[in-house]
Structure 1
Amino acid sequence: MRSPSPDHAAAPAPGHAMPIRGVQPSFDDLGTPLRDVTFCVVDLETTGGAPGASGITEIGAVKVRGGELVGEFQTLVNPAEPIPPFIAVLTGITDLMVASSPRIDSVLPAFLEFARGCVMVAHNAPFDMGFLKHDSQAHGYDWPDFVVVDTALLARRVITPDEAPNCKLSTLSKLFRATTTPNHRALSDARATVDVLHGLFERVGSLGVQTLEDLQTYSARVAPQVRAKRHLAESLPHAPGVYLFTDDRGEVLYVGKSKDLRTRVRSYFTASETRTRIGEMIGIATGVRGIECGTSLEAEIRELRLIAEHKPRYNRRSKFPERQHWLKVTVEPFPRLSMVKQIRDDEAGYLGPFSSRKTAERAMAALHEAFPIRQCTVRMSKTPQVSPCVLAEMGRCVAPCDGRISADSYGEFVAALRSALTVDPAPVVEALDRRIDVLSADERFEDAAMHRDRLSAFVRSSAKMQRMSSLTGCAEICAARRTDDGGWELHVIRRGRLAAAGISPRGTDPRKYLEMLRASAETVLPGIGPVASASPEEIELVLRWLDSPGVRLVEMDGTWTCPVSGAGRHVSRLDNSHSEEHHHPGERRRRMRPIGAARVS
């Protein structure tokens, strides 16, 4: 059980990064020697090349350890469909041969038991693993998270064109003088693959590849200097948290999160890391420090806060949460919409925050479509006498500038606009729907799509603000969710900000842990606007966790609710409309159905 402390408190001070040299590796860092790994080399024969559309006709597997044979597995499988003639000619397996053979749902339990605890090996592994995994899931069997070695991929890294023209199993079998000739029968091909695997081990062994981890790293051509930095994860625990890569000056290069800190950081030095920017970062990094967290939500939020604090050059997202855009209904005799970067305590109406200026401009255009308020930026008194602009002539502005509308009548438009921002967006939705209908009827599909994008920007931002405002309006929410081991993960949320997080172990009273968390939780004072206490990304993470299955509200100080007529009810229809256009793009040219319109079947 813990409460959040300053994010840098658990990390060493800059300049104390872990050194590159002079570190005694642990046995975990040494990896698993290849001689101690049990490999299950598998090969399949099928009726075609697509899992689900084709069936398995034969499974052959050979289990080896330390170069010695441990066991073999072979069975024909009834694919429940005719075997194509060319497949029968290629493999020699006919419909008559598999007629009395078991179906795949009967074969899988025995095969999975045979392969339990092994590293899977196959020549062109995605093909064989794809069939096995698909059929396991289709028949309700849990597919183990096997480590997989692809001998075809490894051979492409090792064999030169001068040695072999290609990396087919038949070609490699000749190159390595396999004792079994592959003949498109599963067990024979698996036996040949064993010999190819051992031949490849001899090649890479002379290059320093002695462990399973080295083998995975070598297959991706990871530079030796990168592989040598694997010890940087030595001091990290197998626990959820946040990790920070630093350079020799202590500058934070990259911030990430994981459910298992040590395993995740070690993966940066293996075959699983292929991003160019991250590879560059690894080359510069000289240390890694970790902050252990009690829950996954705490880790996600700490990551956001650390990125915002350090602004690491190799993180792409959430580096500048302070760069926000808002739409404001100005406070003046004849208010208008204005784009601003912060909220003030001036009793003005606001909509946002928007992640980009472009999105804010689209939402503003949607509001101007529904409410003909002025768009000019000139200062106006209560009795203005200014010549109207072209918008007044087009009927898109009520033109208070020349006195044709009173301040009270103009105020009715502004009041309706404020209501659309915070309570009911229906006037905006209806206005844009009508406009889209007219444009679609005139076959002006590009203009209709532009108005739909404007409507989407407004509806989504309004729904987001209503959700955030409801949460940040609550002084405190205490919530809990069962952990996999029977304990409880506990969170104290104050005004939308995660103030404390911890785990109540199984068999203990979670209420006592919760009270301790509340006593030590961060104090969060009320502020101005829905994101005064935390970034929008943090509030969204908290909302997502609160909405997740199994979460229970324990205590709440405030009212957490959204208006029934709010923008949230329009978002799902908007998503459905966009989904239909994605799957049926022709529909977009034939019609542009308003998101607020009911479907008629």
Structure 2
Amino acid sequence: MSLEPAPRLHTKPPQTTPAHRKQLRALVRAGVENRPGVYRMLGPTGTVIYVGQSRVLRTRLLSYFRATGRRNKAARILRHAFQIEWEYTNTEFGALLRELRLIKQYRPHFNTMMVMDEWPRAYVALTGGTVPGLRVVARSDDPGAVALFGPFRRVAHLREAVRALAEATGLRDCTLEDTVRGSGSQRGSALWFSDDPATRPKAVPRSRAPGCLRHDLGTCAGPCIGQGQSAAYRTAALTLREFLDGRSDGPVQQLEQAMQQAAAELAFEKAGILRDRLALVRWLHERVQHFHANVDRLTFRYHAVGHADAEWVYLIRRGTVRAEVRAPRTAEEQEAFEALVTRIYDGTDPTGADIPTHDLDEFYLVASWFRRRAEEKKRTRHAHTRR
């Protein structure tokens, strides 16, 4: 299903020749069917540069060869495509799902660039390690995140809200890592607490490090300069995790109490600062609550009709697709199907998390699919019903 790359004639950036594009078009015409599927455009070295999908794959791919103009998206992608690969999926929904997973796997240049051009977005991330931190990240699969929420379009407003949340809880919002490397084999923790001297770095004495402005202002424990108490910090990190999981409004209550106390003490300037901080944290809390309310609604079976009118069942739990199987046609298949349903829906989530951080984009894909297609929503069933 692929064509060997043509000789590389251009390097900045590499582009195909009209003759090679003609060969690609002939390949598509001869080999692609009009059924749901995904396709990959590959560069001269085999790197995936773009991933797309369609319910009529042949028609979609042939449309690339009719595109013209320097700024036309399809024409632009095709000029850099040395190979085209494709695969079929069982349904249109399956094509969308497969496309998303391939984009997350390969992070193709043109997919990433076009998303950024369309609208900027960012996520709230709680990082792991011995000293968790709060930060704004650009990727839904940020490797350092243990809890993630988003995406947000109002990135500047989100940064203000995250800073307000960090100030309310005392957690760090810097980008320091938990470990640093010194000369030779010396290593030490880049972040440590005053009551835990065993973690003090050997390679870089923290007494020589610059100060922490947030610590000086009383809004951060200051682990970057060896300040704060480890137990209190862990408690604050747990409170923040519960906030992002939608199980607590602790930071909101803390700010409300602090604002009321400042007003009672006639410290009106301080009360005003806390009021503004509270408004930002409430804004974030409302969106967290709305997100988790929607997650709870997205647990069901989806019986979709696919190619050749075959019925496929998607087992969806809390907004992510856990399995895709052909609808049972025999008693034996029905028994195996019911065992799979029980394994996926009963008990604790097999992923070990309410919403796996790497599945946020999948959750939004599932939610969008049923929001925009009321007729498909009618094809959903309760998780444990036989039909």
Matches within 5 A, 1:115-514: 230-234=25-29, 235-246=31-42, 250-271=46-67, 275-316=71-112, 326-328=125-127, 337-339=133-135, 341-342=142-143, 350-353=146-149, 361-372=159-170, 379-382=192-195, 396=219, 416-424=239-247, 426-429=249-252, 456=283, 459-460=286-287, 464=291, 478-481=301-304, 488-493=311-316, 497-501=320-324
Q: 1:255 to 1:453 in 2, by over 3 A?
A: farther
Letter in 2 for 1:326: A
**Matched residue, 1:589:** none
**Matched residue, 1:542:** 366
Q: 1:297 to 1:362 in 2, by over 3 A?
A: farther
Q: For the residues of structure 1 that align with 2:2 and 2:68, how far apart are their CA atoms?
A: 30
Q: 1:529 to 1:399 in 2, by over 3 A?
A: same
Q: CA deviation at 1:555?
A: 2.7
Q: For the residues of structure 2 that align with 1:225 and 1:239, how far apart are their CA atoms?
A: 25
Could you tell me whether the CA contact under 8 Å between 1:373 and 1:414 is conserved in 2? yes
Q: Which runs of 5+ in 1 are unaligned?
A: 1-11, 18-222, 345-349, 558-601
2:383 to 555, 570, 594: 555
Could you tell me whether the CA contact under 8 Å between 1:295 and 1:502 is conserved in 2? no
Higher helix share: 2
Matched, 1:526 2:339: no
Could you tell me whether the CA contact under 8 Å between 1:277 and 1:314 is conserved in 2? no
Q: For the residues of structure 2 that align with 1:394 and 1:352, how far apart are their CA atoms?
A: 27
Q: What's the CA shift string for 1:509-557, capped at 9, x where partnerless?
A: 6998776778899x99934545658542223323444666324234359
Q: For the residues of structure 2 that align with 1:483 and 1:284, how far apart are their CA atoms?
A: 32
Could you tell me whether the CA contact under 8 Å between 1:362 and 1:457 is conserved in 2? no
Q: For the residues of structure 2 that align with 1:400 and 1:312, how far apart are their CA atoms?
A: 38
Q: For the residues of structure 1 that align with 2:151 and 2:293, how far apart are their CA atoms?
A: 16
Q: For the residues of structure 1 that align with 2:46 and 2:216, how far apart are their CA atoms?
A: 62
Q: CA deviation at 1:260?
A: 0.6
Could you tell me whether the CA contact under 8 Å between 2:2 and 2:84 is conserved in 1? no
Could you tell me whether the CA contact under 8 Å between 1:497 and 1:533 is conserved in 2? no
SS in structure 1 of the partner of residue 111 of structure 2:
coil
Q: For the residues of structure 1 that align with 2:253 and 2:243, how far apart are their CA atoms?
A: 12
Q: 1:417 to 1:355 in 2, by over 3 A?
A: closer
Q: For the residues of structure 2 that align with 1:236 and 1:281, how far apart are their CA atoms?
A: 19
Larger radius of gyration, structure 1 or 2?
A: 1
Q: Percent of pairs identical after alignment? A: 22
Q: For the residues of structure 1 that align with 2:339 and 2:158, how far apart are their CA atoms?
A: 40
SS in structure 2 of the partner of residue 555 of structure 1:
coil
Using the size of structure 1 for normalisation, the TM-score is 0.38
Q: For the residues of structure 2 that align with 1:397 and 1:534, how far apart are their CA atoms?
A: 29
Q: 1:517 to 1:298 in 2, by over 3 A?
A: farther
Q: For the residues of structure 2 that align with 1:533 and 1:408, how far apart are their CA atoms?
A: 26
SS in structure 2 of the partner of residue 490 of structure 1:
strand
Q: 1:243 to 1:431 in 2, by over 3 A?
A: same
Q: What's the CA shift string for 1:367-424, capped at 9, x where partnerless?
A: 234335677985225489x9997757756468999xxx99888777565444323234
Using the size of structure 2 for normalisation, the TM-score is 0.54
Q: CA deviation at 1:354?
A: 5.8
| CA-atom RMSD in angstroms | 5.9
Letter in 2 for 1:233: V
Q: What's the CA shift string for 1:444-490, capped at 9, x where partnerless?
A: xxx9999866765565467547866x699x8xx53325789987542
SS in structure 2 of the partner of residue 239 of structure 1:
coil
SS in structure 2 of the partner of residue 314 of structure 1:
helix
Could you tell me whether the CA contact under 8 Å between 2:50 and 2:111 is conserved in 1? yes
Letter in 2 for 1:380: F
SS in structure 2 of the partner of residue 536 of structure 1:
helix
SS in structure 2 of the partner of residue 270 of structure 1:
coil
Could you tell me whether the CA contact under 8 Å between 1:425 and 1:459 is conserved in 2? no
SS in structure 1 of the partner of residue 33 of structure 2:
coil
Q: For the residues of structure 2 that align with 1:412 and 1:286, how far apart are their CA atoms?
A: 54
**Matched residue, 1:55:** none
Could you tell me whether the CA contact under 8 Å between 1:496 and 1:542 is conserved in 2? yes
Q: For the residues of structure 2 that align with 1:453 and 1:229, how far apart are their CA atoms?
A: 52
Q: What's the CA shift string for 1:160-216, capped at 9, x where partnerless?
A: xxxxxxxxxxxxxxxxxxxxxxxxxxxxxxxxxxxxxxxxxxxxxxxxxxxxxxxxx
Q: For the residues of structure 2 that align with 1:399 and 1:229, how far apart are their CA atoms?
A: 59
Q: 1:303 to 1:383 in 2, by over 3 A?
A: closer
Q: For the residues of structure 2 that align with 1:554 and 1:283, how far apart are their CA atoms?
A: 47
Q: For the residues of structure 1 that align with 2:82 and 2:129, how far apart are their CA atoms?
A: 51
SS in structure 1 of the partner of residue 35 of structure 2:
coil
Q: CA deviation at 1:256?
A: 0.6
Q: What's the CA shift string for 1:30-77, capped at 9, x where partnerless?
A: xxxxxxxxxxxxxxxxxxxxxxxxxxxxxxxxxxxxxxxxxxxxxxxx
Q: 1:422 to 1:287 in 2, by over 3 A?
A: closer
Q: For the residues of structure 2 that align with 1:251 and 1:378, how far apart are their CA atoms?
A: 39
